[in-house]
Structure 1
Amino acid sequence: MRPLFGVPLGVAAATAAGIAYAAGYEARAFRLRRVEVPVLPPGAHPLRVLQISDIHFVSGQRKKQRWLQSLAGLRPDLVVNTGDNLSDPTAVPDVLDALGPLLEFPGAYVFGSNDYYGPRLRNPGRYITARLTGRHGTNGNRPITGAIHNPWTELRDGFDSAGWVNLTNTRGRVKLDHLEVELTGLDDPHIKRDRYTEVAGGPDPAADLSLAVVHAPYLRVLDSFTADRYPLILAGHTHGGQLCVPFYGAIVTNCDLDPERVKGLSTHRAGGHESYLHVSAGCGTNRYTPVRFACFPEATLLTLVPRARP
């Protein structure tokens, strides 16, 4: 077959078809993942926790908006939002509208870097080079040069006014089905805004259940939560690898987490202890890379059930 600009036409056609599928279908084919996690006290009734993450909303994304609204039909006991709601500085009203029905339920949230800063057009290859060099994230103690500042305070105020618990380097508490649930959260480690010393010390023994919440699952954070004996850590950020290889999985995670744990339920060990880790693949993409391949956009309904008796 005659080449086009040095590329065989068959290869060019297959590439175009793959991009059309990844952008036109898979990036909008929203799914619900269901996971069961044994972390409740023996004899407790199951709790349904809906985790949403990495919405990366751009104004006009009506299908995503309708899908998010429909999740209220799951009637979760608790909603946990693990950040990166925005990919458009004008989208705060759209996000609050999309999450409006879920704001009627008890909830908690942390922010990710894209809640604070707007996305920039970058070379996607930098994620691969970051994986090879071990360099991830940004120095959060310095201004990000040329960044678009998102109106994150408006998003925060909307969540707070609905009663959702802000877990930005702090602890919160909700009462669910006669259980006292403590939540400990961190600001985004990807831009080094996490301050673990402000929440260190482990779960409150007076709580029936303690959950750890963070946007980006960097190992330093997972190690701290696990060493402090949190039974379950919820995170997002990775997009599940976003562009994955069929029958192989993710190539990159955009942090120092290994690709084998890029999404779904796994375990983490540190300090002689073990925690469950759930990483959401998220339901959106950066507006400049609106594609997914072998990695459907998702939310997760985690059913927390009693742990085995010792």
Structure 2
Amino acid sequence: MARSGRATATALGLTVAAGAAVAAYGVFVERVRWTVREEVLPILPPGSRDITVLHLSDLHMAPWQHGKQEFIRSLAHYEPDLIVDTGDNFGHVDALDAIHYALEPFAGTAGVFAHGSNDYYGPVLKNPFGYFFPEQGTSRRPMDIDTESLNSLFADFGWLDLNNHARAIELKGTRIEFFGTGDAHRGWDRLDALPGAVEELRENVEWSTDEAEPVLSIGVTHAPYRRVLDALTTQGADVIFAGHTHGGQVRIPGRPALVTNCDIPAAQAQGLSVWRSARASAFLEVSAGLGTSIYAPVRFACAPEAVVVTLTASDVGYP
């Protein structure tokens, strides 16, 4: 073989080996390198006690994923005051017991949830390049997830359903109103009904005292489509929690997400940012999630994450 041919063969071999090493890292290391991202948001009324929020999203749980289950259970040491679950808990049709086990330490902790489509439909094999051109709409497949049992589990935990609902609680002396949507990726967001739900909540909520006090407004959704973020911001959300994007899942190190699986700007597909709509604005917290589809078990430059957000008092305007 000529010297140039040997050089080409060597370069090709090194390229293949490097590609294989990257793929192996993404499947066997990065995918299970569960992390905790911590954020601080100064949005509570002056003099308020801190509120620790644990944001969980996109567990995509399968029965055999014991390491992920134990990691989630270990998050109890943060002693969260509030759980925000932004959906896609299921990664397998038989995962309910695994989800129950993973989240059991948070039973009795205040919580809210908004489902993703994988809380209704089990995973299927997809063309990965389809994520560059995401489609919205309702699946023609029959729903094969036991969503009713998931809802019952969360209700037993004491968590509030925000799928196109508005609810309110008082937590550590702070009045909090929540409003959420169904999964916008499937067109299940009832934005037409959102203003009425929020208005009804505000008219009928019974706080512990009749004194006029500030109220913290939190928006919750699975898929952070622009129309949803605009609607939640317009309704007065101080902070919005979302998931769905997986942070891009496979990224170029140091670069924004290549894909978001929705129409959110790539730079806001993971992490804490500010969303602006007309003259209103809200903090936006998007989790990269803790799981992947069992048919696409890889992450690169985008480790799975849980997010701990400490809400603190602020003496200035925001955001």
TM superposition score normalised by structure 1: 0.92
Query: 1:233 aligns to what?
Result: 240
**In the superposition, relative to structure 1, how do residues 110 and 207 fare at CA in structure 2: closer, same or farther (>3 Å)?**
farther
Q: Secondary structure at the match of 1:172?
A: strand
Q: Secondary structure at the match of 1:73?
A: helix
Query: 1:180 aligns to what?
Result: 175
Amino acid at match of 1:109: F
Q: State the shift of 1:250 in Å.
A: 1.1
Do structure 1's residue 94 and structure 2's residue 98 form an aligned pair? Answer: yes
Query: 1:156 aligns to what?
Result: 151
Query: 1:69 aligns to what?
Result: 73
Quick check: 1:68–1:98 contact (8 Å CA) kept in 2? Answer: yes
Alignment RMSD: 1.9
Q: Secondary structure at the match of 2:256?
A: coil
Q: Distance in 1 between the 2:316 and 2:192 partners?
A: 32
Query: 2:224 aligns to what?
Result: 217
CA deviation profile, 1:280-304 (whole Å, cap 9, x unmatched): 0101001100110000100000011
Do structure 1's residue 46 and structure 2's residue 50 form an aligned pair? Answer: yes
Q: State the shift of 1:196 in Å.
A: 1.7
Quick check: 1:226–1:271 contact (8 Å CA) kept in 2? Answer: no
What is the correspondence of 1:257-268 to structure 2 with a 5 Å cutoff? 257-268=264-275
What is the correspondence of 1:275-286 to structure 2 with a 5 Å cutoff? 275-286=282-293
* Deviation larger for 10-19 or 24-33: 10-19
Hey, which bits of structure 1, 4+ residues long, moved more than 4 A? 1-4
Q: State the shift of 1:147 in Å.
A: 5.2
Do structure 1's residue 119 and structure 2's residue 123 form an aligned pair? Answer: yes
Query: 2:136 aligns to what?
Result: 138
Q: State the shift of 1:206 in Å.
A: 6.5
Q: State the shift of 1:231 in Å.
A: 0.8
Q: Distance in 2 between the 1:247 and 1:138 partners?
A: 29
Amino acid at match of 2:20: A
Quick check: 1:170–1:186 contact (8 Å CA) kept in 2? Answer: yes
Q: Distance in 1 between the 2:214 and 2:119 partners?
A: 30
Do structure 1's residue 24 and structure 2's residue 24 form an aligned pair? Answer: no
Q: Secondary structure at the match of 2:236?
A: coil
Given candidates 164, 170, 179, the residue that maps to 2:165 is 170
Amino acid at match of 1:67: F
Quick check: 1:235–1:279 contact (8 Å CA) kept in 2? Answer: yes
**In the superposition, relative to structure 1, how do residues 168 and 148 fare at CA in structure 2: closer, same or farther (>3 Å)?**
closer
Q: Distance in 2 between the 1:28 and 1:78 partners?
A: 25
Quick check: 1:165–1:172 contact (8 Å CA) kept in 2? Answer: yes
Q: Secondary structure at the match of 1:234?
A: strand
Q: Secondary structure at the match of 1:288?
A: coil
CA deviation profile, 1:170-228 (whole Å, cap 9, x unmatched): 01122211122111111100101010222216684876211000000000001111122
Structure 1: which 5+ residue stretches go unaligned?
131-135
Q: Secondary structure at the match of 1:49?
A: strand
Q: Distance in 2 between the 1:42 and 1:53 partners?
A: 30
